[in-house]
Structure 1
Amino acid sequence: MSSPRVDSPTPQQRRAHQQWLDALAASVKGKQRLAAVLVCFSGVGLIAQAAAIAWLIQQVLVEGAGLDQCWPVLVALAVVLAARAVLSTAASAAAGTVADAARLALRQRVYRSLQGNGPLWLRGQRSGELGELMLAHGDAVEGYFSGYQPVRSEMVVVPLAIVIAVASVNWVVALILLFTGPLVPIFMMLVGWGAEAASRAQLSEMARLGGHFADRIKGLGLLRVYGRGQAELSQVGAAAEQLRERSLRVLRIAFLSSTALEFFASVSVAMVALYFGLSYLGLMSLGPGLPSLGVGMFCLLLAPEFYAPLRKLAAHYHDRANALAAVAEVERLLGRLPQADDNSLPDPGLAAQTAAISAPQAGPAQSVLQAQQLTLRPLGATVDVVTDFSLVLQPGERVALVGPSGSGKSTVLEALAGWLPPQAGRLQRAPGLRVVYAGQRPYLFHGTIADNLRLGAPAASEARVEQAAHAGQVMRFAGQLPQGLQTLVGERGLGLSGGEARRVGLARALLMEADVLLLDEPTAFLDAQTEADLLQALNVHARGRTVLVATHSPVVMAWADRVIHLPGPAAPVEVPA
């Protein structure tokens, strides 16, 4: 199995990804600032802690002071330690709240975008990959907000405070820290570019593996029938091996950067220790006089802490790389980065072409739905299949939409249902209008037939479910099953024929009791008696409701109040598989 090609984002894309990522925590900005402030105070407390320890060492070992003279400083040291522990705990809690809010915001945006893209767009996607957006990609932003952002604030404040404190007692050590400190962020930046690319490749491979595995699970029954189980198992194993290799690449980069940063920090601390050692041995004399033991201990205690925020930032820098990689994957799979209040389609150009949906103007005969000069093109097609289409539906009327195959009957129903944005024209609906579309390929989930009927009306009683099943002619086959409507069916209607699944979809639409029913070939593949019974049931069950039926059946045309003809297609329509 070939690996997906991962293109590096441009600087403009990086900035856009960073801004979108930061905007996920817009609702908890206060908590974000609180976490940063608490982390900085905890870091600055290190200076007081080191000063107290150094003073105690100087007084006890050099000045010969007793413990009775040192107890105020011991108490102060205990207070500083306790305060730093409380501050660190509170900072972690606040950062965790920010991370949870950001993860929830990402999942909400992705979910709204999936809903806004509509079922036609979803039909052409791999559900496993989209599922990873809600799972692994959502979790990838957690480390950025709970680890990287608080440490980034600490890196700005704490090293600067330590340099100032050290410079107040020994300017030589301060210079050592100032000259060696920039090595860490420079190396971190170089490693970060590779880390982000490796993380993005890993997330892409994870999404690909999730989609591959989910698709195989859905078609497991068919794979077993055709004896492809072992071959597909080998492909899943190969994909898992590729994911393992990419995960190890990320780990190698992480270990390499951590090792290099620890090396630079250790060398810098060793330079400070060497300076004091040579000074105490009389082999080096820099600055005004010989530094005291307390000064030496104060500087040696703070030297590792000067690099600690830099090392922590390096460790969490991979969290930032993972988060940005997750954002890039969201953009790749959805076609754009969904905004907080955005339900639009992935192509921004479609927004300008989408017809406005509004309430029709009041008139002598109030209609429920009007289509004015619509131009329609199936999602992914290269040409329009319906042009200059107009329609007015009155309350309670029955309309048959007829035309040769390829004339766009299903496309018209999808547009009227709100699934497909028109290329031009205007669609008007009555206020509060409920429209239900029963297509030729209804999606059935794993569960009982009754569960699938209740999908749009989960609170429906047993009597209503059975009534809708009779109206949709579901009981013609379900009544012969040992468990009736409680019979289990598999994912995508496994266990039912295409005609039976279509009848379940029709009954599901009837159960929702919508104002307008859009039915796509509801009587296809039915014998004459079943077709007649279905139309008779619609007379009763859909009384008072508007029904628009796409059909080829003369019987349905005779049943309708009026018939609308669509011309045949002017050119072949190219729609991706």
Structure 2
Amino acid sequence: MEPPTGATAKARLQALGAVARAPLRAAAALGVIGGVLVVPQAALIALCLQRAFVEAAPPAALLPLLGALLATLLLRAGMAWAGRRLADRAVERIRVDVRARIARGLVARGPVWVRSQQSGALAERMGAHVDALEGYFGGFVPLRADVVGVPLAILLAVFFVDRTVGLVLLLTMPLVPVFMMLVGWGAQAASQRQLQALTRMGGHFADRLRGLGLIRLYGRGASELHGIRAAAEELRVRSLRVLRIAFLSSAVLEFFASLSVAMIALYLGLTYLGMLDLRTAPLTLGMGVFCLLLAPEFYAPLRRLATHYHDRAAALAAMDEIALVLDDAPTVVASDADGGTPIAATPLVSVRDATLRHPAAARDVLSDLTLDLHREQHVALVGASGDGKSTLLEALAGWLPLHAGTLRHAPGLCIGYAPQRPFLFAGSLRDNLRMAKPGARDAELEQAAETAQVLRFASRLPEGLDTVIGERGFGLSGGEARRVALARVFLRDPDLLLLDEPTAFLDPDTEAAVLQAIRTFARGRCVLMATHSPAAQAAMMQVWHVHDGRVRTQGGMP
């Protein structure tokens, strides 16, 4: 997929901010009001100095002015605090919403797409890439209004007092946004490269961490450490380039702002010394102090925006990566492999002239596949390892797209799939079972566990179904993990059961109990079971043989 254009990324960012538009606007309004209050603040300071040093007013006469100045300062501080709180709330709401959208996008894309991605890279999009939006929405967006409102108010106030100072401010102001725009192009490209390096490193590290046991077993620790070190070094270099651009932009903006303030100070000093006279009326101390105080405040919003300008570049770069998950996420439906639409049919599943091939494979696993699956049809799928039994189950479950042909599911079909290597999460057995039906009552859950013979081993564990296991079922045997997956299928109550070696690694007594449970549960349903077990084959009504890329059907007795 081609990366999104800059304009498209901006539109996406605006769409993401819609969930927190009200607090963002309120934060921006408070920022503008607080910034404009610098004008009366400077006026009060200048008036105090004028009366104290020029008019020699008594200290008591200055108390009302000092009280008003204190109130102005407290009001500005309160508005800054309230605006920061609103911006933080808006950022948190946006982050939660974006992560929910990414999760929905992953679900909509389905297991086929997800399995083709590095899990570490997906985690980075959920984590660091979403966090990269914080500076944009929490800093850059509220400051955009400040850049327009505050300098305009200061410019009008300064022009009212001294036109020369106002003209200096007016002529130097365009230099800042022009330079920001030039720097922004480079910053966005550098930020995008830095985020891509972070994604690669996160994916690389997460995959190696998951396979740490295998790496140690084969003595590949040193070489893998070298790979991680290289990825970290690339990330360091990319990050320093982003920081270099950010520091350079801030330094140049500070230079322009300082130069402008110096020009105003020089003009005021020469005017007071009588060496320069561009005014029709004399320049008082209060007027000069007022202009000198407002000169740096005129550039303050632009300097703050420049500080957050690299946050904008980082957000645009992060949006390009996040969009790979959000954009064009397909809705998973049973359909033709060439884009057809679901149709109502008597079979639960209908496959016609299908070819199955894994995405990276050079040859077909199965070809010329035509079959129908109906209710009350119980089939044992047999064949040598590697002949395509699991591949067929994955395709029927929607985990593998057809390379050619059509696959149609009956409308509203509910599928229960128990793979050879079921994924079990770190948590209790009860939590892992509840994944199939989050709203299941404890009685339903325990009934499914008992039917799948999970309670046969769980009853011997310290806390029964509440015993905590490790990620990927650490602490359980292969047969126990398969029984947990089978209990999930029972709890889901599907129309079609796709079972991949559900009785592998079981002793004869437990296997007989599991097969009896499957047969009992399968009444009124369809079952397709990949197996090498003679007992499992005998328990099914039909036996289909997978060999040389073909599936041959053969009748059998239950």
- Please report the TM-score for the alignment, with normalisation by the length of structure 1: 0.81
Which of 81, 105, 110 aligns to 1:113? It is 105
Partner of residue 549, structure 1: 529
Count of aligned residue pairs for this structure pair: 545
Partner of residue 554, structure 2: none
Unaligned runs of 5+ residues in structure 2 are 551-558
Partner of residue 364, structure 1: none
Q: Output the CA distance in 1 between the equivalents of 2:484 and 2:373.
A: 29
| RMSD (Å), alpha carbons | 3.8
Q: Output the CA distance in 2 between the equivalents of 1:63 and 1:111.
A: 69
Q: Output the CA distance in 2 between the equivalents of 1:543 and 1:351.
A: 29
Partner of residue 391, structure 1: 372
**One-letter amino acid of the structure 2 residue matched with residue 380 of structure 1:** P
Q: Output the CA distance in 1 between the equivalents of 2:84 and 2:546.
A: 64
In structure 2, relative to structure 1, the CA distance for the partners of 1:374 and 1:28 (3 Å cut) is farther
Partner of residue 348, structure 2: 369
3-state SS of the aligned residue for 1:436?
A: strand
Partner of residue 204, structure 2: 212
**One-letter amino acid of the structure 1 residue matched with residue 174 of structure 2:** P
Unaligned runs of 5+ residues in structure 1 are 1-6, 362-366, 571-577
In structure 2, relative to structure 1, the CA distance for the partners of 1:84 and 1:351 (3 Å cut) is farther
Deviations 1:362-396 (A, max 9, x none): xxxxx6835375856556368985668563523x4
**One-letter amino acid of the structure 1 residue matched with residue 421 of structure 2:** R
Q: Output the CA distance in 1 between the equivalents of 2:87 and 2:439.
A: 40
Listed as ranges, the matches of 1:76-475 within 5 Å are: 76-331=68-323, 335=324, 337-338=326-327, 344=331, 353-357=338-342, 360=344, 369-371=348-350, 373=352, 380=359, 389=370, 391=372, 393-394=374-375, 396-400=376-380, 410=390, 413-420=393-400, 427-429=408-410, 431=412, 434-446=414-426, 452-453=432-433, 455-457=435-437, 472=452
Deviations 1:537-562 (A, max 9, x none): 32234344432334577765654345
Q: Output the CA distance in 2 between the equivalents of 1:485 and 1:252.
A: 55
In structure 2, relative to structure 1, the CA distance for the partners of 1:430 and 1:249 (3 Å cut) is closer
Is the 8 Å Cα contact of residues 25 and 101 (structure 1) preserved in structure 2?
no
Deviations 1:216-236 (A, max 9, x none): 221122222222334433433
**One-letter amino acid of the structure 2 residue matched with residue 191 of structure 1:** V
Which of 498, 514, 519 aligns to 1:539? It is 519
3-state SS of the aligned residue for 2:290?
A: helix
Q: Output the CA distance in 1 between the equivalents of 2:455 and 2:59.
A: 92
Q: Output the CA distance in 2 between the equivalents of 1:353 and 1:59.
A: 85
* Bigger shift: residues 478-487 or 68-77: 478-487
Is the 8 Å Cα contact of residues 353 and 421 (structure 1) preserved in structure 2?
no
Q: Output the CA distance in 1 between the equivalents of 2:217 and 2:441.
A: 38
Deviations 1:65-115 (A, max 9, x none): 334444443333233222212221121111112211221121111111111
Q: Does 1:506 align with 2:486?
A: yes
3-state SS of the aligned residue for 1:548?
A: strand
Q: Output the CA distance in 1 between the equivalents of 2:34 and 2:431.
A: 55
Q: Output the CA distance in 2 between the equivalents of 1:70 and 1:525.
A: 91
Deviation at 1:280, TM superposition (A): 1.0
In structure 2, relative to structure 1, the CA distance for the partners of 1:240 and 1:87 (3 Å cut) is same
Deviations 1:148-182 (A, max 9, x none): 11111100111111111111111111111111112
In structure 2, relative to structure 1, the CA distance for the partners of 1:458 and 1:223 (3 Å cut) is farther
Is the 8 Å Cα contact of residues 102 and 325 (structure 2) preserved in structure 1?
no
Is the 8 Å Cα contact of residues 355 and 427 (structure 1) preserved in structure 2?
no
Q: Output the CA distance in 2 between the equivalents of 1:351 and 1:515.
A: 21
Partner of residue 574, structure 1: none
Q: Output the CA distance in 2 between the equivalents of 1:389 and 1:327.
A: 43
**One-letter amino acid of the structure 1 residue matched with residue 348 of structure 2:** L
Deviation at 1:272, TM superposition (A): 0.1
Partner of residue 555, structure 2: none
Q: Output the CA distance in 1 between the equivalents of 2:446 and 2:535.
A: 26
Deviations 1:438-465 (A, max 9, x none): 1233223445667655543578789877
Which of 19, 31, 36 aligns to 2:23? It is 31
